[in-house]
Structure formats: structure tokens, C-alpha cells
Structure 1
Amino acid sequence: MHLAVFGANGPTGRLVVLQALAAGHRVTAVTRKPDHYPIRDRKLVVLAADVTDVDGVGAVLDTQPEAVISTYGVPFSRKPITVYSAGITHILGAMVSSHVERLVCVTSTTLSTEKPPPGASLFGTKVLEPLLRNVLGRTLYDDMERMESLVRASTVNWTIVRPGGLFNLSEPTDDYEISMRRLPGNRVTSRADLAEALILEATTPRHPRSVIEIITRSSTPSPGSFFREAFGKS
């Protein structure tokens, strides 16, 4: 299958590309600096594009991928953030123009504010999550919500994947859970597990036009790793 991966040079995007190639898929990796892209493979094409550049995104979709995986992101900032909503607007428009139907994109369980997860602590639901959502990451999560709204309203066959706090593992754990409902337990997700789930959703759609959570069960990274991640220091 031919997959286009936006955000291919990010820590999650690289794992998506590596795992997809290992599974025998053709991959178009989209990055702003293709000359510095570290992965090489006969089934890999690396294209230069920024999701905020409508023409560049259109050129990627002109290659006719069978599915799009979106993993692009930015660190927390006090300044307004628009890259999520602007980027997905360009991707969705180009998908419609090029007749590409399948989209899988990444947001965060922090947006799951409709109700707390089963067994959640009072500290987590009343202190930690509001601090993350409404103070430290307010501008980022506001734009993620705009992105989700645009995806939900689109005509493509989409799946929104919400991981917990991301941490780095090189290989999938085979011990993660996916659900359309809120999941109990630790709110953490390994990037390798997330990458595997994104590829599976893109190639064998299991949750069309749905929002799903993914939580890793077998690892518990340090809380400090999430703050380094959030502020672009990982």
C-alpha cells in the first residue's frame, strides 16, 4: 500500500515510516528538509513540503497515496498556534482534489474532556489535566480541537487517534489498548505503539470516522520526560 506520512521527520513520524517500510508498504515521507532525512529505502520517496503550504501539500497528494497519516506537531507555546488547523485544512482539501479517501491523524487524550477516564484520580482530573489543557498547553490544544472539528466535518474516511503522554521506545510493546471509549489506567503511550496503530488504521481501517484512544500498559516513564517532550526538549 502507498502511504503518505506528514510530519515524517518527527519522532513519531520516523517510526511510522520505518515500520511501514518493514511491513512492505511504499511510503512518501513529507518533511521540510528532505536532504537531511535519515531514512533511505527503495520503497521510500522523500518530498519537501510544509503543511502550511497549500501548493506543497497538493503536490504530495498528486502522487496518489492510498492513505494519509498525519503526525506533525509543535511544542507548547504561549503564542497562538495555528499549524494543526491550517495544516489539516490543506491536507483535507488536497485529499478531496486528488480523490484520496483515507486519513489517520494524531491529537491527544488531553482533548478527551467529556468525562474522566475510569478510575482516574481526583488530582489528575481536577489539577493535572486542567493545568495541562488550560494553562501550559492552552494554545496548542485549542488548535488541536480546531483540527479535530475540521476532520470530523470532512467527507474523507477519517480516524482521529488520541495517545496519552508520549514516550520513546524503538519497538512496539504488543501491550497496548485501543478503544473508542475512555481507557482506565496510566495515560501514557509509547511512540512505537502509536506508530503501529496508525499504520494498522491506515491500511486496514478498523475505526472509520471515529475517535480512538491508545494507551500503553507495560511501561511507565518518568513524569519529567513528558515536560521535556511538551516544551521541545526531548
Structure 2
Amino acid sequence: MKLTVFGATGGTGHEVVRQALEAGHEVTAVVRDPARLDVPAHERLRVTVVPDLSDEDALVRVLEGQEAVVSALGPASNKQARLTPVAGPALRSIVSAMDRAGVGRLSAVSAAPVGPLPPQEGVFSRMLVYPLLRRALRDVYADLAVMEAEIAAGRTQWTVIRPPRLLNRPRTGTYRRAVDANVPGGKVIARADVADALLASLSDPSAAGHAIGVAA
């Protein structure tokens, strides 16, 4: 598969690039600073610099001839999300550019607190953990909620992956999934498993048009 990865220099993004190359895909990593891409050079890896993700014409040039897109974009902090939202504006441009370039498949990482609480969620999480998270990181989740709305409004076949707290641990491949819901009791997941979920969804027709909760 010819795959373009946005947010490739982040913790989840570099895992997406690494795993995609291991799986035999041709990968275009879109970055602002190539020096921050923590992935060795590879014959099937192309690194493309796009300083401004609102430049839709530049995105179309990058996406022409591609088959799918993975977005690991997201705000680095609540302050950044409040001052300059990242994910919502970027995905608005990316989805439009995908349509113009004829790229029909997209997976993107969001966050569990953007989704609904599972009915089976424990009282502690329901009454304390989720409310505190949603208050402390409200601008981050607002940005991601806008991102999800922009994606759903487009014409792509999309999948959104909603993980809880991310850990820098090896891929297990044994994480839990919940379609259009969060995983009950889901507290953490390895970034590498989120990358696995993002890539796996691209070849899973049943994942199209759904938000999928994942957790260890």
C-alpha cells in the first residue's frame, strides 16, 4: 500500500512509519523538521517537508498517487490547543486534499475522553477520572472533537482510533477494541499498539465509518 503519514515525528507517528515499513508498505512521512523523524532511512520511505498543513495545494501534491492516509496529529499540550488548535484545522485541509487527489482511506488517532463513557464503566472512572481529564485537557479534547467532525463530514472512508493514556512500550497486538465506544476499564495502551490499530483499520472494511476505542 502507498501510505502517507502525518504527524510522523511524534511518538505514535514514528511507530506508524516503522510498522508500515516492516509490513512492506511504501511510506511518505510528512514532517516539518526531518531531523525529528526517529526512523532509519529506508528504500520504501520518502520524507516530505510541508511547513503549513493548511496549504491544501501542497497537500494535494503530496497525496497524488497515494492509497491511504494515517494521521497521528494532535496538540502537544492543552495550552497549545487553546492558542493554536492543531488537529481540527489540519484534518480539514487533509480531508479536502484527499478528495482532490482521489485518496479514499483515512485512519486518525483521537482520544478516549472524546468518546462516550461505556455503560459498564466503574463509578470511580465515571465520577472522578473522566470528569477531571475532560476539565484539565478540555482544549485538547475540543480540538480532537473538531477533528473528528471534520473527518466525518468528508467523503473519505475513515476510521478514528480513540486510546486512553499512551505509554512508550513495545507492541503487544493483544489490546482490546470497542466499536463506537470506549473500552470498559481502559486506562492505558502502548503507542505501538495504537499504531498497530491505525494501520490494521486501513485493511478492515468493517472499521470504515467508525470510531474504535482501544486499550490494554
TM-score scaled to structure 1, two decimals? Answer: 0.84
Q: Equivalents in 2 of 1:212, 1:186: separation in Å? A: 13
Corresponding residue for residue 225 of structure 1: none
Displacement of 1:144 in angstroms is: 0.9
Q: 2:176 touches 2:215 (CA, 8 Å); kept in 1?
A: yes
The 5 Å alignment of 1:65-144 reads 65-78=66-79, 79-113=82-116, 116-133=117-134, 135-144=135-144
Corresponding residue for residue 152 of structure 1: 152
Corresponding residue for residue 231 of structure 1: none
Q: Equivalents in 2 of 1:67, 1:177: separation in Å? A: 24
Deviations 1:85-110 (CA, angstroms, capped at 9, x unpaired): 11001101100100100010110110
Q: Equivalents in 1 of 2:11, 2:206: separation in Å? A: 24
Q: Equivalents in 2 of 1:210, 1:197: separation in Å? A: 13
Displacement of 1:125 in angstroms is: 1.3
Q: 1:118 touches 1:183 (CA, 8 Å); kept in 2?
A: no
The 5 Å alignment of 1:3-18 reads 3-18=3-18
Q: Equivalents in 2 of 1:147, 1:196: separation in Å? A: 21
Q: Equivalents in 1 of 2:35, 2:84: separation in Å? A: 27
Corresponding residue for residue 195 of structure 1: 195
Q: Equivalents in 2 of 1:81, 1:131: separation in Å? A: 23
Q: Equivalents in 2 of 1:131, 1:152: separation in Å? A: 27
Displacement of 1:126 in angstroms is: 1.7
Equivalenced residue count is 211
Q: 1:51 touches 1:83 (CA, 8 Å); kept in 2?
A: no
Equivalent position amino acid for 2:110 in 1: T
Equivalent position amino acid for 1:68 in 2: V
Deviations 1:31-62 (CA, angstroms, capped at 9, x unpaired): 10124433210000000014233343223213
Q: Equivalents in 2 of 1:104, 1:16: separation in Å? A: 11
Q: 2:6 touches 2:30 (CA, 8 Å); kept in 1?
A: yes
Corresponding residue for residue 55 of structure 2: 53
TM-score scaled to structure 2, two decimals? Answer: 0.91
Cα distance 1:185–1:124, how it changes in 2: closer, same or farther (>3 A)?
Answer: closer
Deviations 1:178-222 (CA, angstroms, capped at 9, x unpaired): 121332223211111111111111234331111111111xxxxxx
Structure 2 unaligned segments of length 5 or more: list them. Answer: none
Q: 2:21 touches 2:27 (CA, 8 Å); kept in 1?
A: yes
Give the aligned CA root-mean-square deviation in angstroms. 1.6
Percent identity of paired positions between Structure 1 and Structure 2: 36
Q: 1:81 touches 1:139 (CA, 8 Å); kept in 2?
A: no
Deviations 1:63-119 (CA, angstroms, capped at 9, x unpaired): x21000000112222434421111001101100100100010110110123xx3254
SS for the counterpart of 2:140 is helix
Q: 2:96 touches 2:154 (CA, 8 Å); kept in 1?
A: no
Displacement of 1:121 in angstroms is: 2.6
Q: Equivalents in 1 of 2:182, 2:100: separation in Å? A: 35
Q: 1:166 touches 1:190 (CA, 8 Å); kept in 2?
A: yes
Structure 1 unaligned segments of length 5 or more: list them. Answer: 217-234
